[in-house]
Amino acid sequence: MPSNTSASPQTTSASAAPVSVTPWKACTDEDLKGLECADVSVPLDYANPQGEKITLAISRRAHKGSDFKGVVLTNPGGPGGLGRTVPNSAANLPNNVGDSFDWIGVDIRGVGGSKPQVSCIPDYFATPQPVFRPGDDAATQKWIERVNAYAQACKTSDGFKVLQHMTTLDNAKDLDSIRRALGVDKVHFWGTSYGTYLGQVFMTQYPQHVDRVVLDSVADPNKGWYQSNLDQNVAVTKSFRVFLEWVAKNPNMFHLGTDADAIERKTFAKIDELAAKPPAGAGSSELIASLIKAAYGVGYWPMNGQLLDVVLNKNDLQGLDEGKDPNPSDNSYAAYLGVECSESTWPDIQTMIADARRLEPENQLMTWSNTWLNGPCATWPVPAKSLTAVDGATFDKPFLMIGETLDGATPFSDALAVRDRFASARLVEGKNGSTHSSAFSASPCVLDTIAAYLTTGDVPARAAGSVADKECPAVAPLPTS
């Protein structure tokens, strides 16, 4: 991200914006079963708080019993992830700690149940996707035309008015509007991946209204989105290698032998074969999109190991997932671009292609996929703003950060950089793990640390140097037999 602009903490800026909340009712969506839902009305443009309003869809897992410890606002990352499902994950915390809080899930502006929705080309991710790695100049030009067309479609879409107001600062102001609509002076915050940057902005802008904070899989807001994506290509390579080594340790289950190097060569040879002669349906791009999931964590490993088995040994492509990971829906994708393209300077598409060609030989899995995923940013129709500053001196309350050593989506070096910025931060490391967004599925060591912090405010002692403050076992892969 480019150098952050200076930004003073907000005291009453969002409070000038009128907000309202509808009564809580039982959610009707199947994936929100057991939660309550409501809508919050907020300004489209906080610079014009009396102007047009939009609606944010929120959910609640209400506290149980008399030991109420406050409201937890949450964000699942993306940006653009569906947030209303998050509160159900509070049940994973040990000793029923989650029952002492009201957990609030939020579909950020333009996403999911929030209105109006953003969407640019509804079938953009229909199978088959074009081959990610362009084999010649003609293929490269087709991709350039494709990503430019997406950006143009966003400009003419019904949701363009929302896409013009989708920065992280807008989302932070929405969080404070939700806080006020709920009638509480202070909230806790739990953010994952992109949500950790949103959390840092929220903490910086409204320190007097934020209490306990858990940031899971931490993003460094000082790098810029473009550099973050380049770094992600490299980190995913390392985490995917961990997956291949696990596959090699389970030859009886996946029938691919015991040599991780050989499995890797065979995998990318198959990707090249499918790219050279694309099948009528799912092909090389869908295989890449599916395998990227393995680099996001151990929960995907059995499924992806079995996928390699049937693809490499049987040439069976039926198991390939449709769509593009990690943003398979156009709604989430448009919102992802709406945030990242409009609050960080992006190079032109030729520079992005040149960087892809430089990185791809050593980082084959994600480089071209990530390049085209972010390609619309090169001609994004909303002028880029500078990122909102994150000031570690503004928020002095102890808070927790969670991350695994080989996280591919948010490299662990990002967590260390943020820890260095906040003297009050405490970093818990899942040692040698490669799972992204690991906190709710973490080892008892991590979960107990989180539970103690949420219950009492206790955090591990601050270690000397730029290191984690506590090491724990990583998220363990599922048994293979």
Contacts of 130 (CB under 8 A, 6+ apart): 139, 142, 143, 146, 285
Q: Give me the catalytic one of 407, 414, 434, 437.
A: 407
Q: Give me the catalytic one of 436, 437, 438, 469.
A: 436
Q: Give me the catalytic one of 100, 114, 177, 193.
A: 193
Q: Residue 270 corresponds to which tokens in the numbers above?
A: 């198959």
Instruction: Please state the separation of Cα 148 from the chain's center in Å.
Output: 24
Number of helices (H), then strands (E), in the chain: 15, 11
Task: For residue 193, indicate whether it is catalytic.
Answer: yes
**Alpha-carbon gap, residue 439 to 219, rounded angstroms:** 15
Instruction: Please state the separation of Cα 240 from the chain's center in Å.
Output: 18
Contacts of 377 (CB under 8 A, 6+ apart): 151, 225, 226, 337, 340, 341, 346
**Alpha-carbon gap, residue 394 to 403, rounded angstroms:** 23
Percent helix, strand and coil across the chain, each to the nearest 5: 45, 15, 45
**Alpha-carbon gap, residue 411 to 404, rounded angstroms:** 9
Task: For residue 407, indicate whether it is catalytic.
Answer: yes
**Alpha-carbon gap, residue 349 to 458, rounded angstroms:** 48
Q: Residue 95 corresponds to which tokens in the numbers above?
A: 């000793």
Other CB atoms closer than 10 Å to residue 46's CB: what's the count? 20
**Alpha-carbon gap, residue 98 to 338, rounded angstroms:** 32
Task: For residue 436, indicate whether it is catalytic.
Answer: yes
Long-range residue pairs from 242-247, CB within 8 A, at least 24 positions apart, any chain: 242/406, 242/434, 243/294, 243/295, 243/301, 243/304, 243/305, 243/434, 246/298, 246/301, 246/305, 246/477, 247/301, 247/305, 247/308
**Alpha-carbon gap, residue 106 to 114, rounded angstroms:** 9
**Alpha-carbon gap, residue 195 to 78, rounded angstroms:** 8
> Where in the sequence numbering do the catalytic residues fall?
193, 407, 436
